[in-house]
Structure formats: structure tokens, C-alpha cells
Structure 1
Amino acid sequence: MSTSITFEHPLNERIRIFLRLEHLFERFEHFVRQFDPSATRAAIDALLEIVAITARSDIKNEILKELEHHIGAIHRLADKPGVDPKALEQVLSDLDDAIDGVRHIGSPIGQTAREDDFLKAIAQRSSIPGGACSFDLPHYHFWLIQPPEIRQTRFDHWLLDLTPAFSAIDLALSLIRGSTAPRRVLAEGGFFQEALDLDASAQMLRVGLDASEALYPEISGHKNRFSIRFMAIESSGRPAQRCDDVSFKLTCCVL
């Protein structure tokens, strides 16, 4: 059985931020469940990146806008033939729960971790290559060798205003990905381009490839048009555009 690989590309700034946060959430959750000090370091690094992103824009408001947009889109589906009303009701309930969870965050998202003196010290030293080693931050080294339950207690505290955001972004991206069925298309000479329907604003592109193709897509796009070049790695290690036709699955996610 062949293995497929999916590449995604955001078509607006909000989804770009959500995808970056999702990537960091997944990295954080992978390492925070491990008890080795090196894994805890990796979890802290991911958490610091999350904190940095959430400090740059009003993530809380962006999440609420996206969830409310989804509610409006789902209500418009209610009268269409073939739509399962029970399924719609469940999705609307999930969206309402996510909105409530985000609205009940009593501070800006990420503020608990952002204002923690311990994490501030690590962030400052981490800007220097190798700056978070044991002689630079002995208190960090001491904390890393504490029992796992002590480290987990601190993580639980730092996540107080992040967990509802994690859940809401996960729900929003899940609905976006499932909003449109993929279609099989052909990139002639390794290149494909298409105009987007301005009346149905696309949020994300998804490109599905068979892993045996040994290709990856370079995607560029905005709300009007997008293009895809399929690249292969040459023996020299440099990428080059594929010259022959490439069949792939394309999803223009619209919700």
C-alpha cells in the first residue's frame, strides 16, 4: 500500500498563525508527555515559541472571529439537501463550547507563561546559541532533574490560558480541512495554477502526493490565485522543478 503525504498552505494571515501554533502545540504535546530532561527542554522551547507568537497579535479575538465565522457558515448549510441535521447540531455545540472556553480565559492568551520569571530567564538566555546550558541557568538545570510530577505541575499552571486556545484552533482547522472533498488534478510539466472563486473565500490549500513520487510542492497563493511547482531533490542536493506531468490531489478548503 502506498503512503500519501499532505502539504498545506494558508491563504490568509489568520490561518497562517493557526497553522504555526498547531505545529508548536503538537511539538509541545509530544515532548511534555515524556519524562526525560531533554524532552522537557524541547517542550519548554516549543512553549516559549507559542508564547512569542501569542504576544504579537490578539489571538483571542482572532480565534473568536474564526469560530463565529464557522457558525454562520454551518447555519447556511442547514437547508441544503443531504445535510445531516444531527451532525450539524453536534458541530454547532462543539463550536459553542469552544467559544465559551476562549471567552472565559481571564487574561490574554499565553500571559501566564509570558509573565513567569522562570520562563523569562530561559527565554533571554535561549536567544544565545547554547545559552540555556547548566552553568548559564543552574536553576533551570536543577528544575529539569526534579521528579516528573513537579515539572508537570508547572506545565499545568503555564497552560491555564493556553489549553482552551489549543482546543479551539484544533476544532477550527479540523472543520476547514473537512469542508471540501479533494479532487485529482494534473500538473503539466510539474506546474499547476488556478484562479480562486472570490465568492467562496478559500482558507487553505492541501496537496496530496504519493510518497513514492519523492516530490514536494512549492506553493504560492493569495485570495485570487495560486500556483504550485513540484520539486525533486537532485543528486547534488539541490531542488529542481519536475519536468514531467504530476498527478496529485488538490483540496481548496472553503468554509
Structure 2
Amino acid sequence: MMYEFPLSERIRNLLRLEELFARMGLFAKRESAADHHVALTAIFDVLGMSGRSDLKTELLQELDRQRNMLVSLRDNPAVAADRLEQTIDAMQRTRHNLANVQGKPGQALLEHEWLMSVRARASVPGGACAFDVPSYHAWQQRPPEQRLEDMKLWCGYLRPLEAALQVMLGLLRETGQSQQVLANKGTYQMQLTGRSYQLVRVLPVDPQAIPEMSANQYLMWLRFTRQEGAAKPKPIDRDVAFTIELCNF
């Protein structure tokens, strides 16, 4: 089981968005009204997180930077030319689609009056009941194929953002080089001087060993715990073997 720990606010937000998109995609393709409600709440959460005016600009700038870096590798004989060109082309298409989005990501959803009325009630615990939003209750009773068409349309407005996100996080994860290390009595420290990392990936050999991490610009500290029953996770007082990857653009 892989654990990922972001070391910057930007990567933290991208990972949260990735989680929301995964939830949206999983439940939007199902047929029940309850599943579609979960998908809609994920859409609303994506809109809330992507509403920052600089997110789209940041992604476009980072896509440009990464593309320029990849282009500079064209004359490197150690790089597979076909795969490099495929990556550059895919990145260019992703950037083009995101740049063509008018306004903020999901702007069409933000201008959808009915969806925004559902969003307002859904933010209240239990607030999307039939007596709160009768029109939403009526929509939930529609045939699955009709709701599926709506979900496909609404999710589609966010696909350019999702694609850009997948490209960026995919490139970041590929920069990590695996190291086999040992946490002495369940703890591990690493100096981070000399390079600014953005993501730490941890894969314990023992699936019952759960890592917890804290870090600053100089030092990373890992502690492995075990969770049983209703008690809080407890520190593991034995050596734990694991794989670590430090990722940075």
C-alpha cells in the first residue's frame, strides 16, 4: 500500500483534487440515485477547490515549463524518442484543452442555477432531502439513463482540469527514485538539504505498518504506527523495512 505525503501546499491541493476526481468518476458511472448524489457532492467539492483564480494559470505555466524541459531532451540519445514525442504531444493537447476553458474550470457549472441551488442545500448536513429541494428529489427519480447523461455532461465540464492534473502528478511521480531503507525501531529521519522535494512516497513491506510524516525544508521524519480496534494508532517499536521515493520536478 503506497502512502503519499505532499511537501508543498500546491501539491497538497492537487492530491486532494485527484481524490475528488477519482470519487466523481467512480460514482458518476453507476446507476443509482445515491451514487449520483455522491458524485455530485464530489463535483461541488472540486468546484470549491478549483475556484481559486490562480489554479488554472498555475497549471498552464507548469505544463509549459515541463514541456520545455521535455523538448530539451530531444537530442539526448539516452531518451526513447518515440515515447518522448508521445508525452510532449499529450501534454500539448492537455494544455490546449485547459487553455480553451472559458473562465474558471467548471464555469458552466457555476452558472447552472439549478445545480448551484442543490449545492447550497447539499452543504448542510442532511440538507438535500426531498422536502428541502423537491426538484432534486424529482431528478433522482428519473430513469438511470437520463441521470447518466446529465452526469456525463456535468463531469465533462471538469475533464480538462482533471486531465491537466493527471499529467502533472504523473510527471511528478515519475521523478522519484526508489530506495530500500529501514526505520530503526519504527522511526526514520532524512536530511533534505540541497534539494527542494515536493512529494514523498512510502511503501512499507508490512501492510500493517502505517507511516506518519512531518517535514520542513531541512529534515523529514517518519514514524510507523499500527492501528487496532477502537484505539488510536500506536507507535511500532521494531524495525520496519520500506521503500521511499522523493519526487521533485
TM (normalized to structure 2)? 0.92
Return the alpha-carbon distance in structure 2 between the equivalents of residues 47 and 128 of structure 1: 16
Aligned to 2:199: 204
Structure 2 residue aligned with 1:228: 222
**Take 1:235 and 1:34, find their aligned partners in 2: how far apart are those partners?**
32
Unaligned runs of 5+ in 1: none
* 1:42-94 C-alpha deviation (Å, 9 max, x unpaired): 11111111111111342211211221232233245445562212222221111
Retained in 2: the 8 A contact 1:12–1:223? Answer: no
Q: Counterpart in 1 of 2:138? A: 142
Question: Could you tell me how far 1:21 is from its partner in structure 2?
Answer: 0.7
Point out the more displaced range, 109-118 or 231-240. Answer: 231-240
CA distance in 1, matches of 2:108, 2:172: 29
Query: Corresponding residue for 1:168?
Result: 164
- The 4+ residue runs of structure 1 with deviation greater than 6 A are none
Matched, 1:216 2:214: no
Q: Is the 8 A contact 1:71 1:92 kept in 2?
A: yes
1:242 corresponds to which residue? 236
User: Secondary structure of the residue that 1:170 maps to in structure 2?
Assistant: helix
* 2:85 aligned counterpart, secondary structure: helix
- Partners of 1:157 and 1:235 lie apart in 2 by 43
Partner AA of 1:121 in structure 2 = S
Measured at CA, do residues 250 and 22 of structure 1 come closer, stay the same or move farther in structure 2, by a change above 3 Å?
Answer: same
Secondary structure at the residue paired with 1:56?
Answer: coil
The 1:17–1:236 alpha-carbon spacing in structure 2 relative to 1, beyond 3 Å, is closer
Aligned counterpart, 2:151: 155
Q: Do the aligned residues in 1 keep the contact of 2:53 with 2:104 (CA within 8 Å)?
A: no
The answer for the alignment partner of 1:86 in structure 2 is 82
Quick check: 1:203–1:253 contact (8 Å CA) kept in 2? Answer: yes
The answer to whether structure 1 residue 111 and structure 2 residue 107 are counterparts is yes
Structure 2 counterpart of 1:244, one-letter code: R
Match of 2:245 among 248, 251, 254: 251
Q: Deviations over 1:158-187 (max 9, x none)?
A: 334311111111111111112223111111
**TM-score w.r.t. length of structure 1:** 0.90
- Letter of the structure 2 residue corresponding to residue 33 of structure 1: K
CA 1:153–1:68 in 2, change beyond 3 Å: closer, same or farther? same
Give runs of aligned pairs for residues 16-95 of structure 1, distance below 5 A.
16-78=12-74, 80=76, 82-95=78-91
Unaligned 5+ segments in structure 2 are none
| 1:229 Cα offset (Å) | 1.1
Deviation at 1:34, TM superposition (A): 0.5
What is the alpha-carbon distance in structure 2 between the residues aligned to residue 81 and residue 227 of structure 1? 38
